[in-house]
Amino acid sequence: NACLGSSSLTAKEIGFERIAKAIKQLDLSGIILLGGFDAFESLHQFWQAKSEHRELCIPMCMVPVTITNNIPGTEFSVGADSALNEIVNYCDKMKRVARGRTNCVFVVEVPMGKKNWPDLNGSQTSEVFLVYPGETKKETNRRAWSAVK
């Protein structure tokens, strides 16, 4: 039972020599990676580097843990449901406030950049009128105001 720590760097960025040394020093017999796309990428890098570093020839698996739900080969990840629920709860509260006013439009921005899973699914679940994924704040504001006119 050893923990090598956490990082948003990939295995290649940390360095295979350093990782191989830690595996040997801690006498690890397997690795479980928890994380998002960086963990997925690291697992693939480990697989590619096995021929150069025999310490990496141990069982490895990955548990997808990310709110963006962007891990290839997985349907769902730990944390994605919580993020989606928070978005939906927030939008429901905003809709209740908006219904009490006439000619009211509310715009909810989910700052996820190009990782659109939470904002797209949150908007679908909240029954929003318009969604503009992957745009800048300026583009979204322009489109939202033009839709109101």
**In a domain? residue 73:** no
**Has residue 38 got a pLDDT over 90?**
no
- Same domain membership, residue 143 and residue 96: yes
What is the extent of the structural domain holding 99? 81-148
**Has residue 113 got a pLDDT over 80?**
no
How many domains, the chain? 2
What pTM did the predictor assign? 0.61
pLDDT by residue (tens digit) across 82-103?
Answer: 877 887 888 788 778 777 776 7
**What is the rounded average pLDDT for all residues in the chain?**
76
Confidence of residue 1 (pLDDT cuts 50, 70, 90): very low
Distance between terminal CA atoms of the chain? 61
- Residue pair 89/121 in contact (Cβ under 8 Å)? The answer is no
Task: State how far Cα 11 lies from the chain centre.
Answer: 18
- Same domain membership, residue 90 and residue 57: no
Q: Which two tokens stand for residue 44?
A: 């693939």
* pLDDT average, residue stretch 29-51: 90
